[in-house]
Structure 1
């Protein structure tokens, strides 16, 4: 692709993503599946105008979008978050993950696409979209509810699990041969994570002094360079580049410059994350959906059932009634960016070609179903309880879960 063609494709991709996002906002849909849909419609696999002939032309931009997405997530995460929630929060988040990740792995084995594919599907079906979940809570005006802090606490537990899961999964799906090599790669990955985690825990004063500058331009260059460099080192060590970026965000989140960095990186994250989802859509052939329609329907139904079960369990731990339980189950239903990250990893590793269209279809279904279900969960509860929506004990104390400010 020539210089002019690259600029035209980039500009067209940004404008197409913006158009679909505005359209989605009008009808109340989240942007993530719409960015992917834009890539599918303007890619080489659909009739009509083709903006980008080869998805690989956007490979570097897509990688930068992924790095910024996880870097921002790290900025939003704090090491003290889990301490704030206590054991009960860990039990609530663990219960949610156990049901959904376990069901996803079992579903993957039942499909018989391969053990590595089943491990990818475990993560795809098991982890909610923090971006879509937070947007749902903001749009519905539920940030002040006690169960909302529990929902955000579960998202925090999922973030921790995601970092560890990606670090362990990368060597397994990346072509390591034999148990010894897999164990070596996993050990190396976790050792690298431990070094970064120790830096986040004990080196923040030094990092804070090094990163602190008054000029916003210099600060952007500094944190962007650190995120991209550590992401590259991660890739060399067999750890997903996104996890390296996440850990840099985690480290910088403990510094006095954290608030400024969050403000400055926000537009960069939104712009390049849109390109990441758009580029994923470019690689999807809608003709492949026919072969995965039944698995997508089964997976979406399974996720809905597991979320209902998890919502009841999590609500019971905190003494909540059917109303908050339904809100928890419906709000955490959406899947989005993390599923697409796993899909990108699977494509890079050369796993079963059916994974990409399956994950795209699954994300599209649940990213649309999630907001709809969250907005109508109370209606279902009213029907089941004869018009009442009991929320639990009147003297229930506020949930001890951390607040989050992640935006979609």
Structure 2
């Protein structure tokens, strides 16, 4: 019989238990959501003579997970408005460019050395380049570092990553989904992506006074219906022109962040972001065969080592360019080492395009390791800095810089 509602209820209960466990252990919740999804997914086994593998409800959970992606990026757009991006300043642009250049180059080289085809190389580079905004923001708040001098640079790099992601995922999705890998295909995909983004942002900014009037709705029910309609229509339309639906959601958030209703939207959307976002990570876990992870262990560990090296170098360089101390620069590199939602989005794109199956377990294991390591490294930055200081004499460099 079809017990779809019961299965969805069990899934939500398992997600809630994973969240409670992570809160009890004071750890990032993302690995727990993914792990519980893997444990009860279609590839797992029956538990205590009960089949909890969510086979019948998997398509619905997957769709709810897609909605979670929309809300995650829509909320990020609300947080990082177009105006804030423009006002961020030269130092953030330089720091963001340094971070992307180092990590993206290392990602491409890693894919090349691993012998992956061209499209898989692009996916792997995307997986290893973009930090998890959700984990980074949560860590900064939990450790009470929002007032630290390096936090502005950290948030700036995250904003820069979002802009890079919007362009990159649009180009790669066009290549992967259309099957074109020629220079003409790349240029056409990039032109469509950039044209669509600029059109939405330009029209959106010009329409801010009109949006202020249209959204002047007293009823929260009607207000949310209007917001949701705009979100899903723009996101859905972007998918029809081979631009990732998540980017459409990001663009809607960036535009609405300029309106006087931004705080109200943010407040009402937050529960939807948290609920559907949790289902997104759970649904990703459902797609992973735990018994296939063994084949991706060395690939994932190599990528993790390269990411740690790249983040340290990028943090030191970006911090130095902004005039920050070596200690603050180390904090930058360690704080943004976590990978999460964006890496998973790239892996799902590879699956949708029928690329090599190794990408999914690689991304799952890579995200799990860094989602665990990221908060730990950030929490222990003082200890790590002292160890690095003994090796690289960073404090001496700092004193020489102050004298100069």
User: TM-score range, shorter-chain basis?
Assistant: over 0.9
| Partner-residue secondary structure (3-state), 1:174 | helix
Per-residue CA deviations over 1:77-131 (Å, capped at 9, x if unaligned) read: 1112233331121011100110011111111122222111111111110011011
Question: TM-score, normalising length from structure 1?
Answer: 0.92
Structure 2 match to 1:406:
none
2:153 to 150, 159, 170: 150
1:19 to 17, 20, 32: 17
Per-residue CA deviations over 1:132-183 (Å, capped at 9, x if unaligned) read: 0011111111111111111111111111111111111111111333544453
1:183 to 187, 190, 199: 187
CA contact (8 A) 2:44 2:53 kept: no
2:281 to 277, 284, 291: 277
- For the pair 1:6 / 2:37, whether they are aligned, the reply is no
**Root-mean-square deviation (CA), in Å?**
2.1
Compared CA separation, residues 323 and 119, structure 1 to 2 (3 A): same
CA contact (8 A) 2:22 2:29 kept: yes
2-side partners of 1:158 and 1:48: how far apart?
41
Structure 1 match to 2:32:
34
Number of aligned residues? 394
Q: What is the correspondence of 1:218-237 to structure 2 with a 5 Å cutoff?
A: 218-237=222-241
Compared CA separation, residues 143 and 389, structure 1 to 2 (3 A): farther
Task: Please report how far the alpha carbon of residue 68 of structure 1 lies from its aligned counterpart in structure 2 after TM superposition.
Answer: 1.2
Q: What is the correspondence of 1:2-401 to structure 2 with a 5 Å cutoff?
A: 2=2, 5-49=3-47, 50-53=52-55, 55-177=58-180, 178-385=182-389, 390=395
| Partner-residue secondary structure (3-state), 1:272 | helix
- Give unmatched runs, 5+ long, in structure 2: none
1-side partners of 2:385 and 2:368: how far apart?
26
- Give unmatched runs, 5+ long, in structure 1: 397-408
CA contact (8 A) 2:131 2:337 kept: yes
Question: TM-score, normalising length from structure 2?
Answer: 0.92
Stretch moving more, 196-205 or 290-299? 196-205
2-side partners of 1:276 and 1:385: how far apart?
40
